[in-house]
Amino acid sequence: MTADLPEVRRVGGYVGAEICGLDLARDYPDATYAAIRRALAEHGVIFLRDQFLDEEQRERFALRFGPIRVKQQLRKEPDQTRNVGESWHVDMTCLDEPPMGTILFAEECPAYGGDTMFAGMVPAYAALSEGLKRTLLGMRAVHANVRKLGLSYEQTSPPEPSVAEYDAAEGPLHPVITRHPESGKPVLYVNPEYTTRFEGWTRRESLGLLRYLFDHGGKAEFVTRFSWQPGSIAFWDNRQVWHMAINDYHGMRRVMNRILLQGSPPVPAEPLTQPASA
């Protein structure tokens, strides 16, 4: 580490890195935040430990990466059984401009459990066959909040919507393969929570291919898992990773402060230039 430049230690083969040697209660020169931004684009999600920040310090850190879109607390009490974000998803792709990134600050953690998993959609795209890449590159998909997800830790899950509800659900059309605005890399940009069907296809027609892509994206090699302690931070690039909060800490409290950063409309990746091979 040179003065004010953090050490970046990879924690997974494809996704995730720990940023070491910073005390975010301090303010750093622009070069420090530029290095963090580069690490985020390269590794998809970054982690910091032992950062005990108040609300003002959390906001000041977040604002170094762009305007704040939403600020909220995620609090699961010992008597609550549901969890927010307990299946693979990307935050709010049901919006025209999904958040660019999310920063989660741990305030109170269960004695065990309550980890968060992250899956990298740059390596997931790269591992697809050339033929499937070519097909997906020209496609768009509907992203809708058909399950009406919110920030509720209520006791019961909402019922699974019908196929007709999936077909009728409205939401923006996003490219199925996007181009990451900073790295330029192609990203598999569908997710199990919000992507309901392909443009011009019914839900039934879409399901086979969507299920394949959802299983593919969640493969163990694309995933890294983070165990929280008070003072831990995870900052994920919502343009290139899925995440999932594991709901295995019943009877214990978990309190997180979350900041979502303003994003922009996802842009499609360029088509492949080499001729197709058999």
Report the interface residues with ligand SIN, using CB under 6 A: 74, 84-85, 91, 102, 104, 116, 243, 245, 256, 258
Give CA separation, 21 vs 159, 229, 234, in Å.
46, 17, 15
Residue 207 or 255 with smaller CB distance to ligand SIN: 255
3-state class of 234 per DSSP? strand
Enter the DSSP assignment of 79.
T
Residue 206 or 240 with smaller CB distance to ligand SIN: 240
Residue 102 or 224 with smaller CB distance to ligand SIN: 102
Q: Which residue is nearest to ligand SIN (CB)?
A: 85
Nearest to residue 118, comparing CAs of 93, 145, 90?
90
Q: How far is CA 232 from the centre of its chain?
A: 17
To the nearest whole angstrom, how small is the minimum distance from the Cβ of residue 88 to ligand SIN?
10
To the nearest whole angstrom, how small is the minimum distance from the Cβ of residue 7 to ligand SIN?
25
Where does the chain have alpha helices with state H? 30-43, 55-63, 121-126, 130-137, 163-168, 203-217
* CA–CA gap between residue 184 and residue 264 (Å, rounded): 15
Residue 206 or 257 with smaller CB distance to ligand SIN: 257
To the nearest whole angstrom, how small is the minimum distance from the Cβ of residue 118 to ligand SIN?
10
Residue 51 or 206 with smaller CB distance to ligand SIN: 51
Residue 127 or 255 with smaller CB distance to ligand SIN: 255
To the nearest whole angstrom, how small is the minimum distance from the Cβ of residue 63 to ligand SIN?
19
To the nearest whole angstrom, how small is the minimum distance from the Cβ of residue 67 to ligand SIN?
19
* CA–CA gap between residue 34 and residue 2 (Å, rounded): 14
To the nearest whole angstrom, how small is the minimum distance from the Cβ of residue 144 to ligand SIN?
18
Q: What single letter denotes the amino acid at residue 130?
A: E
CB 249 within 8 A of CB 91: no
Q: How far is CA 102 from the centre of its chain?
A: 7
